[in-house]
Amino acid sequence: MQQYKKSQYKLILVLVGLPARGKTHISYKLNRYLNWIGYKSEIFSIKGAQQNNTQLDQNIDYELEIDPTNQQFAEVRQQLSFTAAQELVSFLQSDGDIALYNGLTSTKLDRQKLKSLFKEKLKLEYQVFWIESICDDPQVILNNINESKLSRFKDQTIEQFMNYINVLAQNYESLENIENLSYIKLINIGKLVKVHMLEGYLCSKIVSFLLNLHANNRQIYLVRSCQTEYHQLDKIGGDPELSITGKQNSQQLGDYFIEELKGNKNITFFTSQMKRGIQTAEIVGDKLGIKALKTKNLDEIDYGICDGLTVKEIAAKYPKQIKERKANPLEFKYPRGESFLDVIHRVEPIIYEIERSREPVLIIAHVAVLKCLYAYYHCNQINEIPNIDIPINCVIKLVPIPYHCLESRVIIK
């Protein structure tokens, strides 16, 4: 993503908040997003530091010390938090762009120490942005515990865990303006948001991203537009209409979604501005009784000079380009056309829309575009994008849950 905005300085995102406030969830989502848009980003946490330290007992969770009065636990935790910070510094000193820190940050003193550590050890320009998650809605906290923590605590009851959090809360100090930090406070999953001293392109983007997050686990359906005559001729690109088979398949898609969506008309429904996308969406939409939003952002990748040619013709006419593409499929740009990186950039507003939506999302688009969307939810590295398999007549259903994304695929016959 060299041509897109690369900050002149490194960025550190520090998470603050009591347990079961969604810090880990936020850090995972942010990390995934930042890597997807082309930054080299990584999370540094107590848990991570523990996993790297083979001398420690991996069965004990030092991130959530079970007994607050256990001095030894507290010391190990301090040490791990410090180790994570040091690993973060090494990462940024080399080729890392953005680092997320999920360690000891609950008191003013902790934060002061962290700031000093960065100042002392980081020998380049950097910016720190603090992200605090606050929650006083017991139902939300309970949900968070159920979805994420309980699997790690087999012998703890929820009640014990809540009590433990209450004890921690007594020493917890929320971010204050007097600390002179640039921050965002997300209160009750973004119902109330406070931003202080926001600066810079990347932080503005991150704030916009965070404003859209919510805790609804809704389904996302990714589907390719149906068959066209170009498919039959093995041509790529172009703006062909659906073939007869394509229209039939669209009808079957529509039937499938009638069952899946069970009459929900509030879904977020997008398609591209290409004829095959619009036609597929019209047929499906008619069956469901809803209209799709047409956006040029979902148009297929621009094949430039290769547009409308068959695969064989391209191999014959542009062998040099084929070689280049094999060598670097992600960054390869079709002459007078686009690369996958361009498509990612183009499709970013759609990701915001998907994230913001609390209702199921249905996207009818095209191969390259769907690879990029799919990668946002499933891939850890964008290098994998060109190899993702997005078959035709197949509905890919993604359900993002904390720390993962469930996936199922259904072939429509």
Partner 1 sequence: MQDCHKSQKIALCMVGLPARGKTYISRKLHRYLNWLGYNCKVFNIGNYRREICGTECDKSFFDSKNEQATKARNECAQMALNDLINYLNSDGEIAIFDGTNTTKERRNMVQCSLLQQCQNVQTLWIESICDDADVIQNNIRLTKLNNPDYVSMNPEDATKDFLGRIKMYEEVYQKIDLDENLSFIKLINIGEDIQIHKVKGYLLSKIISYLMNLHIYPRPIYLTRHGGSTFNQENRVGGDCDLSQQGIQYSEQLGKFLLDEFPTQEQRNQIHCLTSTMKRATHTADIVCNILKINYLQLKTLDEINVGICDGLTYTQIAIQFPEDFAERKVNKLTYRYPRGESYLDLISRIEPIIYEIERSREPVLVIGHQAILRCLYAYFHRNEISEVPQLEIPIHAIIKLTPAAYYCEEIRIKIDPETGERKQIEEDLQITRINMLTKKKSYILL
Nearest distance in Å: CB 295, partner 1: 5
Nearer to partner 1, 296 or 320 (CB): 296
- Map residues 350-389 to x or -, x wherever contact with partner 1 holds by CB under 8 A: ---x--x---------------------------------
Question: What amino acid occupies position 203?
Answer: C
Cβ burial of 110 (10 Å; 0-12, 13-18, 19+) is middle
- Map residues 178-197 to x or -, x wherever contact with partner 1 holds by CB under 8 A: -------------xxxxxxx
CB atoms within 10 A of CB 283: 21
H or E stretch at 118: helix 108-121
Nearest distance in Å: CB 290, partner 1: 10
The length of the chain in residues reads 413
Nearer to partner 1, 305 or 394 (CB): 305
302 marked as part of a ligand binding site: yes
DSSP helix/strand/coil, 248:
helix
110 marked as part of a ligand binding site: no
300 marked as part of a ligand binding site: yes
Nearest distance in Å: CB 101, partner 1: 23
Nearer to partner 1, 89 or 344 (CB): 344
Nearer to partner 1, 152 or 336 (CB): 336
For residue 189, CA distances in Å to 26, 161, 210, 296, 302 come to: 10, 21, 9, 31, 38
- Map residues 284-303 to x or -, x wherever contact with partner 1 holds by CB under 8 A: -------x-xxxxx------
How many residues in the shown chain lie near partner 1 by CB under 8 A? 33
Cβ neighbors of 136 (< 8 A, separation 6 or more) are 187, 188
- 209-248: which residues touch partner 1 (CB under 8 A)? 211-212, 239
> Do the strands 268-271 and 293-294 form a parallel or antiparallel pair, or are they unpaired?
parallel
Nearer to partner 1, 165 or 211 (CB): 211
301 marked as part of a ligand binding site: yes
Is residue 148 part of the contact set for partner 1 (CB under 8 A)?
no
Closest CA to 115 of 181, 58, 61: 181
9 marked as part of a ligand binding site: no
Nearer to partner 1, 356 or 397 (CB): 356
Cα 100 from Cα 103, distance rounded (Å): 10
Nearer to partner 1, 204 or 232 (CB): 204
> Looking at 23, 25, 47, 345, which residue binds partner 1 (CB under 8 A)?
345
Nearest distance in Å: CB 379, partner 1: 22
Q: Are 288 and 376 in contact (CB under 8 A)?
A: no
For residue 316, CA distances in Å to 155, 312, 335, 412 come to: 66, 6, 16, 35
CB atoms within 10 A of CB 83: 18
Nearest distance in Å: CB 343, partner 1: 10
**Which of the ranges 29-37, 206-214, 276-284, 376-384 carries the binding residues for partner 1, by CB under 8 A?**
206-214
- 81-120: which residues touch partner 1 (CB under 8 A)? none
Is residue 342 part of the contact set for partner 1 (CB under 8 A)?
yes
Nearest distance in Å: CB 328, partner 1: 17
> Looking at 116, 349, 403, 409, which residue binds partner 1 (CB under 8 A)?
349
> Looking at 58, 116, 177, 328, which residue binds partner 1 (CB under 8 A)?
177
For residue 295, CA distances in Å to 228, 259, 347, 370, 392 come to: 20, 26, 10, 14, 21
CB atoms within 10 A of CB 60: 13
Token digits of residue 63: 């991130």
Nearer to partner 1, 293 or 315 (CB): 293
H or E stretch at 12: strand 10-16
DSSP state of 296: G
Is residue 7 part of the contact set for partner 1 (CB under 8 A)?
no
Is residue 208 part of the contact set for partner 1 (CB under 8 A)?
yes
DSSP helix/strand/coil, 123:
coil
DSSP helix/strand/coil, 399:
strand
**Which of the ranges 19-27, 54-62, 216-224, 338-346 carries the binding residues for partner 1, by CB under 8 A?**
338-346
DSSP helix/strand/coil, 294:
strand
CB atoms within 10 A of CB 247: 15
Which amino acids are annotated as binding site for substrate, given as ranges?
276, 300-303
Give me the residues that bind partner 1 (CB under 8 A), please. 3-5, 177, 191-198, 201, 204, 207-208, 211-212, 239, 291, 293-297, 307, 336, 338, 342, 345, 349, 353, 356
